Amino acid sequence: MRKKIVAGNWKMNKTFSEAEDLLFDIADILKENRPSGVEVLVCPPAIYLELAADIAQENEFSCGAQNLSEHESGAYTGEISASMIASTGAKYVIIGHSERRTYFNEKDTLLAVKISQALKHDLIPVYCCGEVLAEREANSHFEIVGEQIKKALFHLTPDEFAKIVVAYEPVWAIGTGRTASPAQAQEMHAFIRKVLAEKFGVEAANDTSILYGGSCNAANARELFANEDVDGGLIGGASLKAEDFIKIASSF
Ligand code: 13P
């Protein structure tokens, strides 16, 4: 179902007590000033998921993981399975973040398996796609993102696809302070929706939440979220401060 979502990807940040403080700060701000019609989603490191899921549930926000194993269970030292994530009370999982693609060599074929694994355990995948700078400069960004969408999502049944959230994160905008312009974001989001419509139909594509990520902050969120096809954001650095994060969630 298409809805407005603002998600915080904490990446590999925060000790336990810092994570606890940030979660309670988010909860406190939401108690005073809850943005209406927006789902607030927090994706901390996996070790804090149970804590986050409990606080999230009590305070009407959501919680998700940043990654999951493609395997069901077994001898995969250090990995975390979909069923483990689901058992903490987390509802979402980020899949295919560019940092996973770059530093952990995750390819679209693997990501397709991870998507299915998440769905099997009733986790909502937030599937990340996006081009690197050289691809945009070579004007191949539509082709690259189109392929990322096709290879990781086109094996899904219509019922499975209906649960997917997509996040467009141009890699050149992540952590760089260089945001995509509202026009660049809208253009790519509309393109992603068109690609999805070709496979799953216009109605299903129009029902999909497509988030923007990449140097999105409290100062630029409003003009990004004002676009027809931008349904919210996947926020990195600016999600590490509760006030900034909720300000972004209030930018519709
Ligand atoms: P920044 O908001 O720090 O650019 O990170 C975006 C991101 O990668 C969210 O997943």
Confidence band for 212, pLDDT divided at 50, 70 and 90: very high
What is the distance in A from the centroid of ligand 1 to the CA of 6? 12
Q: Mind listing the pLDDT tens digit for each residue in 188-202? A: 999 999 999 999 999
Is residue 143 within 8 A of residue 188, CB to CB? The reply is: no
With a cut of 90, say whether residue 233 has pLDDT above it.
yes
Confidence (pTM): 0.98
74 CB-contact burial (10 Å; exposed 0-12 / middle 13-18 / buried 19+): exposed
| Percent of the chain residues past pLDDT 90, beyond the cut | 99
Angle between helices 242-249 and 16-32 (to 10 degrees): 40
CATH 3.40.50.300 assigned to domain 4-249? The reply is no
Measured between alpha carbons, how far is residue 214 from residues 10, 32, 52, 234 in Å?
A: 13, 28, 24, 8
Give nearest CA residue, ligand 1 atom 2.
236
Which residue do the tokens 């219509």 mark? 158
Distant-in-sequence contacts of 132-135, Cβ < 8 A, 24+ apart: 132/98, 132/171, 132/172, 133/171, 133/172
Ligand 1 proximity of 221 Cβ (cutoff 6 Å): no
Specify the residue with its C-alpha closest to ligand 1, atom 7.
236
Tens digit of pLDDT for each residue in 26-52?
999 999 999 999 999 999 999 999 999
Question: Which amino acid, residue 228?
Answer: E
